[in-house]
Each structure stands twice: as structure tokens, then as C-alpha cells.
């Protein structure tokens, strides 16, 4: 399968290890979303991301790498570890299961800081449209 077709959260510019967030007018509301972006199967992490997590949790680089990330051998990248999720099949281990927020916000990977890199989030537009169709502002499409 082509890398672009894989379930990968990777919005980083290719020439920089960490993306710098752009200042955009935001047309989505993460507080109303069940955090689709945190359920990408592969949420890519860099060495710098692991260093940041290690520092935040007062662990060694190796400990943080082992505890929080896993290697995708065929892809040649490390990704965030997942855990089972009550809404979707699984989610990033740092997503709060009921509050649907990041529990390591200050130490989150660069890819999480950069996403969705635009004023709009496609997931949020989809969520909003579905909720309007259902007449239910709490409706969650694409559940497992």
C-alpha cells in the first residue's frame, strides 16, 4: 500500500523535524469533537517528540521511547502507542477516554500541534454536517 494511503497522522513539513503552528482563523471546535485525529492508527513521532515526552515525564529517552511509542518496522517510523477506546476501536494512549482531550498537551508531538494545518478540519465539517442531519448535537458518526 502506498504510504499516502496508510492511516498515518503526518502533517509535518518534510524539511523540518518539528512543524511550527501557523496562525490561522480556526473554523472547527475540538471541544465538540470526539478527537478523530487522536485515533489515527499511526501518529508519527520524531526523536525530538520523544525527548519532549521524556522530559515531561522525567524519564530517560529510552524509557519514554519504549513506554509511549512503538516501531513500525515496515514503515521505518515510530508512532504513538494506542489503547482501547470506548468510542472508536483504539486511540492514542494519551487521549482522555471520556473528556476526549489530550492529557499531555504541553508535551504532545509536533504532528499533533500542526494538525489540521488549515482553517478547517475535514473531520469537524463532517461531524457538524452529520449532527445537523441527525438533529442530534451529540451524535458521533464512524464509531467502531
Binding-site ranges for ligand SF4 (CB under 6 A): 28, 30, 33, 35-38, 43, 80, 92, 94-95, 102, 104, 108-109, 112, 115-116, 121, 123-124
Q: Of the two residues 88 and 94, which places its CB atom closer to ligand SF4 in the complex?
A: 94
Q: Of the two residues 88 and 123, which places its CB atom closer to ligand SF4 in the complex?
A: 123
Residues 6+ apart with CB under 8 A from 111: 9, 10, 11, 12, 19, 43, 44, 45, 49
Q: Of the two residues 30 and 87, which places its CB atom closer to ligand SF4 in the complex?
A: 30
Nearest distance from residue 122's CB to ligand SF4, in Å?
8
- For residue 63, what is the DSSP state? H
Cβ-based burial of 132 (10 A; exposed 0-12, middle 13-18, buried ≥19): exposed
> Do the strands 42-45 and 8-9 form a parallel or antiparallel pair, or are they unpaired?
parallel
Nearest distance from residue 62's CB to ligand SF4, in Å?
19
Q: Of the two residues 10 and 63, which places its CB atom closer to ligand SF4 in the complex?
A: 10
Residue 43, strand partner residues: 9
Amino acid at each position: 500500500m502506498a504510504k499516502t494511503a496508510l492511516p498515518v497522522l503526518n502533517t509535518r513539513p518534510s524539511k523540518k523535524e518539528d512543524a511550527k503552528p501557523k496562525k490561522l482563523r480556526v473554523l472547527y471546535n475540538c471541544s465538540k469533537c470526539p478527537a478523530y485525529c487522536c485515533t489515527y492508527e499511526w501518529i508519527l513521532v520524531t526523536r525530538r517528540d520523544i525527548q519532549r515526552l521524556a522530559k515531561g515525564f522525567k524519564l530517560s529517552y529510552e524509557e519514554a521511547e519504549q513506554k509511549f511509542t512503538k516501531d513500525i518496522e515496515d514503515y521505518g517510523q515510530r508512532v504513538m502507542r494506542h489503547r482501547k477506546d470506548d468510542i472508536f476501536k483504539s486511540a492514542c494512549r494519551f487521549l482522555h477516554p471520556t473528556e476526549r482531550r489530550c492529557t499531555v498537551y504541553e508535551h504532545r508531538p509536533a504532528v499533533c500541534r500542526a494538525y489540521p494545518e488549515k482553517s478547517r478540519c475535514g473531520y469537524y465539517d463532517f461531524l457538524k454536517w452529520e449532527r445537523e442531519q441527525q438533529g442530534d448535537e451529540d451524535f458521533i458518526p464512524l464509531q467502531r
